Structure 1
Amino acid sequence: MTDLTSLTLAEARKGLASKTFTSLELTDAHLKAMEEARALNAFVMETPDQARAMAREADARIGKGEAGPLAGIPLGIKDLFATKDVRTTACSKILGNFVPTYESTVTSQLWRDGAVMLGKLNNDEFAMGSSNETSCFGPVGNPWRREGSNTTLVPGGSSGGSASAVAALLCMGATATDTGGSIRQPAAFTATVGIKPTYGRCSRWGIVAFASSLDQAGPIARSTRDAAILLRSMAGHDPKDTTSVDIPVPDYEAAIGRSVKGMKIGIPREYRLDGMPAEIEKLWSDGADWLKAAGAELVEVSLPHTKYALPAYYIVAPAALSQSAPSLHSFSISAGMPS
């Protein structure tokens, strides 16, 4: 049998449906991998008993032909997501051993669709960081190394635990959050796939807030298809989140592999900066060539306000954070939702 931890989520889903292996076997394989890779510090809490119970339930549903779209798939959950009866700290000593009495909307939808929780993943404290070195549980290591070196690299942040765990094959996918790059940057640092969905696409209810006007939940996965599969379960309207968009959730997976032939794609002039490293310049040019070869028409466009993006972020994000901070006390003692 193929090493179960090396499968993509899509491949595991197929194997579970054909009963080539069970969810319990798949879960046990990942729990063992987690034990052997604790030096990465990707998980801040492992939930093996709960994982095995959820796996057995998934196997029963698969046996009855009642499997959900994520039935039996083992996932890791960023420690910003409230998980009922499982410690949620945002990787800060401020929340201590806070155990929510409720479940975040995003994770509740993953469990609704049959996913299995392996444990809670490390992140920068309250999502404030870009290297996952500010967590009260210590820094996360990147499973990748520079060629010819064994020096530990950072996995990026704030979703460093999510990215590291997926890259190290410790889980088949992970939840993450992105305020100003906290999904996209760690995914880039670990050769995984991450997407920050459009604001309002995924509910923020039950997620510890950094900046409520910018935060958005999304997946980190091993492939584009896996990310699409996860996002379909994570997305959806939630009346408990007033910024949640009430529109149907499309079948993201169905769009995978769709041709770009005939599409007109804009390339922002301002995104190519003076002094850009040669390797990045080459990747940019290669990407444009790939799109042309696939039949797309590339058009240079101007986004003149690009230069204001980062300064604006550093005004909006800290201002929003200053509003969230006072509510953390009530969150820790009354299970209230941070504003």
Structure 2
Amino acid sequence: MLASSSLTALRKSISSGEITPRDIVLDVARAIESRNPDLGAYLSWDVETALAEADRVDTSKPLGGIPIAVKDNMNVIGQPCTCGSRILNENYVAPYDAGAIQRLRTAGGIPFGRLNMDEFAMGSSTENSALGTTRNPHDLARVPGGSSGGSAAAVAGDLAIAALGSDTGGSIRQPAALCGCVGIKPTYGRVSRFGLVAFASSLDQIGPVTKTVEDAALLLNHLCGYDSHDSTSLNVEVPDFTEAIGQDIKGLRIGLPKEYYIKGIHEGVAANVQAAIRQLESLGAVVEEISLPHTELGVATYYVLAPAEASANLARFDGVRYGHRSGSAGDLMEQYTRSRAEGFGPEVKRRILLGTYMLSSGYYDAYYIRAQKARTLIRNDFEKAFKKVDVIISPTSPTPAHKLGELKDNPLAAYLEDVFTIPVNLAGLPGISVPCGKVEVEGKALPVGLQIVGKALDEASVLRVAHAYEQSCKIGSLVVE
């Protein structure tokens, strides 16, 4: 089954002439037809367009002929871009390619399929999608994580070779952890946000979800780079991230933040992460305790800043230029309010209201400005820590995947699922989640993720440690039979 193979292995098979890109597209399409009704990872897919691209692609290019699935908040010309929302589901078709998609095509990749997500990337379970439920490949009664739940479920469930996701507070890493695959959030500004529908502009970042660390490095090579269309894009050299693959980690300094190893972490998650730490020590890494003293401010800071930015970004969805338009409105103001009320789901409305409140007169200084100051403190904590260590390690998520609907009426508990990933976004740092074992829950073996965080622009060290660990444990993507 080609859909279960790694990107790297398929590239070798294409180069040797054993298979063609058309073979891969057809195999992935068969997998989607067979398993997507159960998983709900894909919202749509266009086989004919993908086959046409497969037939004309230059297979000598680095990604030549590999279909890559795309989270449904990135514009791909001629395809729908719903953001998991009713407000865009009716009639919006992308008129252009996002910057990341342009780079993907330049490297020979084929965008194939639109993946489910929490509406406008607001959520940690993909239950907030207005367009259907995505399920965890390891237990169909559980969530895949979010907001890139479709991306992780498709890759872990062998409905995709690799996928693109976006990460605002952990939305690549957390679902990768819960589904048992690899997900990396690059340094903020490494990958163009042009054509990514904005949630929180100072936090959003596109990254790959893959079956192996080597695949993540290869795909990252061809996503990163300066884009003049994105004012936050970094005009810095992009190294060959695959050079970090296979390097040993002897003498590398690993920091364990004491604020992250606290009560409340699932016992099985803690045990697997501790075992991973011992494994890294056995490979020659030097492990020491560090402090990130303002960690406790992370979730609260995020839920001031992200909703405030979302409130401004989502103001453009007014039912006039594109998207859902209410048919029962009497005047212009009523059309705005009815269109938005009908088009947005409960979580999006909650965050818009919260963000608008934070930005309103009399509260801006009390909340938004204070949150910006707290963000600076969190960023400074990481800078001080990285003077002592090369990477920082923690659980990706404090718990394994919870059951569908379990946290529906408890949004605060859902927000705390990202307690270890949010600070990385606030500081703009690169972070990866790699599988580090499983825990037994109600007769099901559920994946656990290990988060590895690096200095700004040091994705190479993150990948180096992740690959060394992955290979030493012989853990790749956890594939459901």
Asked if these proteins are the same fold (TM beyond 0.5), I'd say yes
Match of 1:280 among 249, 269, 294: 269
Residue 257 (structure 1) shift:
2.1
Hey, what's the Cα distance between the residues in 2 that align with 1:252 and 1:12? 19
Which has the larger displacement, 23-32 or 266-275?
266-275
- Secondary structure, aligned partner of 2:222: helix
Mapped partners of 2:68, 2:321: distance in 1 = 25
Task: Mark the structure with the bigger radius of gyration.
Answer: 2
Q: 1:325 aligns with which of 314, 317, 327?
A: 314
What is the CA–CA distance in structure 1 between the aligned matches of 2:279 and 2:302, rounded to whole Å?
32
Task: For 1:319 and 1:170, locate their aligned partners in 2 and report how far apart those are by CA, in whole Å.
Answer: 36
| Counterpart position of 1:7 | 5
Is this contact kept in 2: 1:54–1:117, CA < 8 A?
A: no
Aligned AA for 1:24? Answer: R
Distance (whole Å) between structure 2 residues aligned to residue 331 and residue 32 of structure 1: 39
2:228 is aligned, of 227, 239, 245, to: 239
Aligned position for 2:20: 22
The equivalent of 1:211 in structure 2 is 200
Which position in structure 2 is the counterpart of 1:77? 70
| Letter of the 2:3 counterpart | T
Letter in 2 for 1:102: Y
Secondary structure in 2 matching 1:52? helix
Amino acid corresponding to residue 196 of structure 1 in structure 2: K
Quote how far apart the aligned CAs of 1:275 are.
3.8
Q: CA deviation at 1:117?
A: 2.3
Instruction: After TM superposition, give the deviation of residue 140 of structure 1 in Å.
Output: 0.7
The 3 A distance-change label for structure 1 pair 53 and 193 is: same
**How many residue pairs get matched?**
321
CA deviations over 1:147-170 (Å, ceiling 9, x no partner): xxxx52211111111111111111
**Residue 196 (structure 1) aligns with:** 185
Unaligned runs of 5+ residues in structure 1 are 146-150, 335-339
- Residue in 2 aligned with 1:33? 31
Paired AA for residue 13 in structure 2: G
- Are the aligned partners of 2:101 and 2:111 in contact in 1 as well (CA < 8 Å)? no
Q: Is 2:142 aligned against 1:153?
A: yes
The letter of the residue matching 1:136 is A
- Asked whether the 8 Å contact 2:251–2:285 carries over to 1, the reply is yes
Q: Could you tell me whether the CA contact under 8 Å between 2:254 and 2:288 is conserved in 1? A: yes
Letter of the 2:67 counterpart: P
Distance 1:231 1:91, change over 3 A: same
1:235 Cα shift?
1.0
Counterpart amino acid of residue 45 in structure 1: S
Q: Distance in 2 between matches of 1:252 and 1:100?
A: 31
Distance change >3 Å, CA 275–CA 171, structure 1 → 2: closer
Native 8 Å contact 2:189 2:232 kept in 1: yes
Unaligned runs of 5+ in 2: 324-481
Which residue number corresponds to residue 134 of structure 2?
140
- Where 1:308 maps in the other structure, the secondary structure is helix
Q: After alignment, is 102-111 or 92-101 more displaced?
A: 92-101
The answer to whether the Cα contact below 8 Å between 1:166 and 1:221 also exists between their aligned partners in 2 is yes
Structure 1 window deviating more from structure 2 (169-178 vs 262-271): it is: 262-271
1:294 maps to what in 2?
283
Alignment of 1:107-118 (within 5 A): 107-118=101-112
Of structures 1 and 2, the one scoring higher in RCO (CA 8 A, sep 6+) is: 2
Of 256, 260, 268, the residue aligned with 2:257 is 268
- The normalised TM-score by structure 1 is 0.91
Deviation of the 1:6 alpha carbon: 2.2
Asked whether the 8 Å contact 1:74–1:115 carries over to 2, the reply is: yes
Out of 88, 95, 104, the position equivalent to 1:101 is: 95
Question: Take 2:193 and 2:321, find their aligned partners in 1: how far apart are those partners?
Answer: 17
State the Cα deviation string for residues 47-84 of structure 1 (Å, max 9, x = none): 101110111012xx23xxxx211001011111100111
1:259-281 deviation line (CA, Å, top 9, x unaligned): 11011222111111124332122
Where 1:333 maps in the other structure, the secondary structure is coil
Deviates more, 1:11-20 or 1:31-40: 31-40
- Tell me the SS of whatever aligns to 2:317: helix
Provide the rounded CA distance (Å) in 2 between the counterparts of 1:199 and 1:275: 29
User: CA–CA distance in 2 between the matches of 1:329 and 1:245?
Assistant: 32
Structure 1 stretches (4+) deviating beyond 4 angstroms?
Answer: none
What is the identity percentage for the equivalent residue pairs of Structure 1 and Structure 2?
A: 42
Match in the other structure for 2:382 = none
User: Structure 2 length normalisation: TM-score?
Assistant: 0.65
Alignment RMSD (CA, Å):
1.5
Q: Which residue pairs with 1:337 in the alignment?
A: none
Alignment of 1:222 onto 2:211: yes
State the alpha-carbon separation in 1 of the partners of residues 281 and 36 from structure 2: 44
